[in-house]
Amino acid sequence: MNQRAGKTYKASGMDNGFAMKQLQFFKACKQQLEAAGYEDAAFYFEQCEDWLREGKSLDAGKAASILGL
């Protein structure tokens, strides 16, 4: 029987779960800061979390954009 190989693709952009771990890290930081009363700092961690949720990668050159500065 001659059957060609099927097309394959990655199911998501989460490589080895690393991106998801980064996302969870920023979310946990935000929650901890909010619980401790540091609302301003929590906001910046939320900015990072949103950036990652949009599928963008962390880049030191774009730090100001990520933080909304």
Contacts of residue 42, defined as CB under 8 A and 6 or more positions apart, other chains included, come to 29, 30, 31, 33, 34
Sorted by where each begins, the domain ranges of the chain are 16-67
Is the whole-model pTM more than 0.85?
no
Contacts of residue 59, defined as CB under 8 A and 6 or more positions apart, other chains included, come to 66
pLDDT category of residue 4 using cuts at 50, 70 and 90: confident
pLDDT digits (tens, 9 = 90+) for 8-56: 766 655 566 788 899 999 999 999 999 999 999 999 999 999 999 998 8
Dist. CA 59–CA 69, nearest whole Å: 15
